[in-house]
């Protein structure tokens, strides 16, 4: 088993974390913050939109069981990569679509996938996903970890996350735990 790290931002981290933690090749998916200029950010500061950090999910995955390219494609299927600094009603740079790469190969693969998806014109508008070098990862507060599992009846979870997870489970059944 060869463990690798991947970091993605796709709007609110609750949905992405819930989906990625269901993949059998993912040992751990943690919600957190990356890409800003504020030292030791917390949820309160992130919500101001002035820290430069994005809400992200950092994965530890077995690259013999799932490829980085597959993870990128899953990432793109879980959000709208054409919305700049927002996902639905969540607005601000903290909700931007971003791939933080951890090595040159990840950068090459991420940009190649964006070129491929753009060429296939799968989206009605241009993909605005940022591809940036990984920076320091700040783990989000404990109450954000496994949020959907802890609060499935919460309104945001029922209206936004549950339908995405249902679609996710249908599309990626063979990769689930």
Which pLDDT belongs to residue 172? Answer: 83
Interval 75-133: pLDDT, tens = 999 999 999 999 988 899 999 999 999 999 999 999 999 999 999 998 999 999 999 99
CB of 73 closer than 8 Å to CB of 24: no
Q: Are 68 and 6 within 8 A, CB to CB?
A: yes
Integer Cα distance of 108 and 23 in angstroms: 23
pTM over 0.85: yes
Write down the pLDDT at residue 91: 92
Band the pLDDT of 1: cuts 50, 70, 90. low
Residue pointed to by tokens 């999910």: 57
For residue 43, the domain's CATH number is: 3.30.1060.10
pLDDT at 173 over 90: no
**Token pair listed for 92:** 């601000």
Identify the domain containing residue 76 by its residue range. 3-175
The string of pLDDT tens digits covering residues 3-18 is 999 999 999 999 999 9
Task: Indicate which residues carry an active-site annotation.
Answer: 12
Phi, psi of 9 (to 5 degrees): -120, 125
Q: What is the pLDDT of residues 124-165, one digit of tens each?
A: 999 999 999 999 999 999 999 999 989 989 888 898 899 888
Mean pLDDT of 42-71: 95
Looking at residue 168, its pLDDT comes to 86
What percent of the chain is helix, strand and coil (3-state, nearest 5)? 40, 25, 35
Tally of domains within the chain: 1
């Amino acid at each position: 088993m060869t463990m690798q790290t991947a970091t993605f931002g796709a709007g609110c981290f609750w949905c992405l974390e819930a989906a990625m933690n269901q993949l059998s090749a993912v040992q751990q998916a943690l919600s957190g913050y990356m890409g800003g200029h504020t030292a030791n950010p917390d949820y309160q500061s992130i919500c101001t939109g002035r820290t430069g950090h994005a809400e992200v999910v950092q994965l530890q995955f077995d690259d013999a069981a799932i490829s980085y390219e597959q993870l990128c494609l899953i990432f793109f299927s879980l959000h709208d990569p054409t919305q700049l600094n927002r996902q639905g009603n969540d607005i601000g740079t903290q909700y931007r679509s971003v791939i933080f790469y951890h090595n040159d190969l990840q950068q090459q693969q991420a940009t190649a996938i964006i070129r491929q998806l753009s060429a296939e014109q799968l989206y009605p508008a241009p993909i605005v996903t940022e591809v940036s070098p990984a920076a320091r990862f700040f783990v989000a507060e404990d109450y954000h970890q496994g949020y959907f599992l802890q609060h499935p009846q919460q309104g945001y979870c029922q209206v936004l996350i549950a339908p995405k997870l249902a679609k996710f489970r249908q599309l990626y059944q063979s990769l689930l735990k």
